[in-house]
Amino acid sequence: MIQLKTMLNCIDNSGAALVECAMVVGQKRHASIGDRIVVVVQEQRSAHAAGMASAGGTKVKRGDIRHAVVVRTRYRVGRRDGSSVRFDDNACVLINKAGDPIGSRINGVVGQELRTKKWSKILSMAPMQV
């Protein structure tokens, strides 16, 4: 349930660590896994963070407005077969307007709903999907 003012973790190496949802793109309800949102970068990832930002450096800065794709939600997401998945945090991956991810690496599991929403680039970067 990502909506206005929701704070999300940014789990790619674009340089953002914590972002705030500013808008849900293309729909009037809350965003779920695989939905596109507009975010404001609130916290930058420090350069010494483990494993992150070393490869890509900081591509975004605090206060930047970017597009992002939700990859994990605390609110459970139902599947067709009756099972459902729920993560313990809200997380997103920054993308540009064309839909390509800004970072080059993702650390952390992502939801499988990205496959149906055609985010194959993010899926291929993710270490694990559930």
- Residues forming contacts to other proteins in the complex (CB under 8 A) are 72, 76, 81-89, 91, 107-109, 127-130
Rounded to an integer, what distance in angstroms lies between the CA atom of residue 106 and that of residue 37? 18
CB crowding 39-68: b at 16 or more within 10 Å, else e: bbbbebbeeeeeebbeeeeebbeeebebbb
Q: 83 or 98, CB closer to other proteins? A: 83
Q: 4 or 55, CB closer to other proteins? A: 55
Token representation of residue 81:
């077969």
Q: Nearest approach, Cβ of 28 to other proteins (angstroms)?
A: 28
Q: Nearest approach, Cβ of 45 to other proteins (angstroms)?
A: 16
Rounded to an integer, what distance in angstroms lies between the CA atom of residue 44 and that of residue 81? 39
Q: 99 or 127, CB closer to other proteins? A: 127
Q: Nearest approach, Cβ of 73 to other proteins (angstroms)?
A: 11
